Amino acid sequence: MSCDTIVLGAGIVGVCTALHLQARGRQVALVDLKDPGEGTSHGNAGLIERSSVVPYAFPREFLRLLRYGLNREPDVRYSPCYLPKLAPWLLSFWRHSAPAPLAQATRAMRPLIERCVVEHDALVEQAGLQHLIRANGWIEIYRCPRALRRAQQQAQAMSAYGLHFELLDAAQLHAREANLSSEVCGGVHWLDPKTVSDPGSLTKGYAALFVQRGGQLLKGDARSLEPQAEGWRVRTEQGPLSAKEAVVALGPESNELLSPLGYRLPLAVKRGYHMHYAATQELKHSVCDTQGGYVLAPMTQGIRLTTGIEFAAADAPINETQLRRAEALARQVFPLGERLDPQPWLGKRPCLPDMLPVIGPAPRHRGLWLNFGHAHHGLTLGPVSGRLLAEMMTGEPPLTDPAPYSAERFS
């Protein structure tokens, strides 16, 4: 078998890359061991996060770092035995979170973040998936008046980025979400983002559109990719597949393919969990308790609670500590019903220390392209980063300068 381009990875980034290449006339095969949308694309909070123009940086306040060091906070947890291995990456992350490099990362991410909703809108309309999308934004909630005042001041500073939001006192917040408890004293309602009621189904719907338009969806192990004289070959259940070009869009597993080819990209994993709960009361918006480090989102499967960050080995067993902490806090602000899932779902966010993804050509292999490392924003940036890479691969003028996302920055 042969095609023009093999896309390795059927998560949201890989599927969108395949769709954009296909729309530009390429014959594309999408290869993964799993069905589309079965990895991290399945289990996130379902936010198309237009309001996150500033990347999630390493905290630099001493007292906050001290609290995290005690390992008792709900939003960040670490495995003590894994910390020494992760320490070099964390140090690099901390350095890139200083004011000047963080401002640089913000400028680099802005063109992608600004287009995230419109690029999703186009694919949603083409795939007929409007029933999965809500256009009512999401709400940050606060239980501490001091934290609320600080958050609302920070929100006002974001007006320079063209964002739309409303500052809510307790009465205004409870008018929008009547079933939040009186512990919540106010919030910020971000109006530009959209939310998804089933992120896994959205990815599957995009993949179905790809197949409907003539794309091949094949089961195969991406790690079998090997260079040939005229391109690349990968083994699939249907037999060997050859192409002139290949795209690595494997998210947290990208280094498993690239390391044998001689690449040493500093890709780390921020683990996160979700659990679904019975909806005993209505929740109209996705709400984020930033102090508690969790999101509650109304999903097709129930109310989904997604946790913050867990630093642990990617293949370490599930640890419910962080989920239990977040659940206890969530039950104080919203009447969650019983758990609906037999065990927590565990996802792995692929993160680079400078908070930017890798989008572009592999430096030392002709015809090999990269699209991964989107951290907390894989769902948000899947369509726009897929478009950018497709433009680069087909020689179109790119929607923004791709230089900040080059893999060569780690050479």
Domain layout of the chain by residue ranges: 2-43+200-266+353-410
Rounded to two decimals, the pTM is 0.96
For 9-56, strand residue ranges (E) read 28-32, 47-48
**Separate counts of helices (H) and strands (E) for the chain:** 12, 22
By three-state DSSP, how is residue 2 classified? strand
Classify the phi-psi angles of 101: left when phi > 0, otherwise alpha if psi is within -120 to 50, otherwise beta.
alpha
Residues (pLDDT < 70) of the chain are none
**H helix intervals, 224-365:** 254-258, 321-333
Contact 28, 216 (CB under 8 A): yes
Q: Say what the pLDDT of residue 252 is.
A: 95
Domain 2-43+200-266+353-410 CATH superfamily: FAD/NAD(P)-binding domain (3.50.50.60)
Q: Say what the pLDDT of residue 110 is.
A: 97
Q: Say what the pLDDT of residue 411 is.
A: 85
Fill in the amino acid letter for 125: E
Q: Say what the pLDDT of residue 291 is.
A: 87
User: What does the alpha-carbon distance between residue 179 and residue 91 come to, in Å, rounded to a whole number?
Assistant: 42
| Structure tokens, 60 | 């630099």
Q: Say what the pLDDT of residue 160 is.
A: 87
Contact 394, 383 (CB under 8 A): no
Cα(first)–Cα(last) distance of the chain, in Å? 35
